[in-house]
Amino acid sequence: MIWIPPIITAWLFAMSAICGQRTTALMDPMWANLTRLSIASVFLAVIAGSTDGWHLQNTALPWFALSGLVGFGLGDIGLFLAYAFIGARLTLLIGLCLAPIFALLGEWVIFGQRIHWPEFIAVLVTLLGVGIAITGKRPTNRAQPHRYGLGIALAICAGLGQGLGAVLSRLAESHASSPVGPFAQAFQRCTAGWLALLIATLIWARIKPTAEANLKHTSWKTVWPWMLGAVLFGPVIGVSCFQWALVLVGNSGLVQAIVSTTPIALIPLAWVFDRDVPTGRSVLGSIIAVAGVAGICLWPQILERLASS
């Protein structure tokens, strides 16, 4: 029974990706992301305010804000733009599988936590799997190669933002004058990310006026179900289920290893909802990459068990 929450989390995150891609197909990606994060911020503000408070006077606030700027700002901008270019399946595979690698490097640089040989091998396995999956899809017309390469670069940015955002969040906890609850952390990070995204979207609208024009002509009756799904399946219910899994399982490495199967869970969903039929090479690459991520997540737990035995 304790394994049900992390498995559900993986599928919730996969559904969030499907809904996120659908919103980018119906409206401009930047405006879609800003709308999603605006709704999520309201949800988190209410939940945090009614549970453990917002902790705005805590000394960790600037650090959580920085974490949000990197994670929700850089990470989510890359995520939603990549959805529009290469689809949810490849975006999530690249982003989720590279995020632990960037986090591992961040832990090494910021906290001096050295990288062990098994972790290094797991990193190579992950990169191998991502490389196989990326080369498993070939652009079918002349317009696609440029968009495909740009989409991959944006997905890498999403992984960079998510990985470094997590490390900065841990750094924020070390600077806290008192413990900050998970909902307050999420609220502070999300709000800072929303401000960064708001500025970026306004600049985007000046550079690309058609983006704002498309927003005005968007059929909200069509968009809102997918937008609500992207909010609920991701930042609200998905993250809450992830926190529940951490409490029940009591082992963050195992939970992260199970949740890292999200790209595999996304394969049949992308097939059904977006007619994104993966090649055998893409499926193989996804499995290899997820196995590498699982190795990265589980190795610290193995070291801890060895040290205590």
What tens digit of pLDDT does each residue of 68-110 get? 999 988 999 999 999 989 999 999 999 999 999 999 899 899 9
- Global pTM value: 0.88
The secondary structure of residue 279, as a DSSP letter, is: -
Which pLDDT score, from 0 to 100, does residue 115 have?
A: 86
Weakest mean pLDDT among 34-43, 139-148, 225-234: 139-148
In this predicted structure, the answer to whether residue 269 has a pLDDT above a threshold of 80 is yes
Query: If you average pLDDT over every residue of the chain, what do you get?
Result: 87
Chain centroid to Cα 208, Å, comes to: 26
In this predicted structure, the answer to whether residue 136 has a pLDDT above a threshold of 70 is no
Q: What are the C-alpha distances in Å from 182 to residues 3, 21, 29? A: 21, 27, 28
pLDDT band for position 285 (cuts 50, 70, 90):
very high
Which pLDDT score, from 0 to 100, does residue 141 have?
A: 44
* b/e code 87-112 from CB counts within 10 Å (16+ = b): bbbbbbbbbbbbbbbbbbbbbeeeee
In this predicted structure, the answer to whether residue 256 has a pLDDT above a threshold of 90 is no
Share of the chain above pLDDT 70, in %: 92
pLDDT band for position 3 (cuts 50, 70, 90):
confident
83 with 20: CB under 8 angstroms? yes
Instruction: Give the 3-state secondary structure of residue 297.
Output: helix
In this predicted structure, the answer to whether residue 207 has a pLDDT above a threshold of 90 is no
- The identity of residue 103, as a single letter, is A
Which pLDDT score, from 0 to 100, does residue 143 have?
A: 43
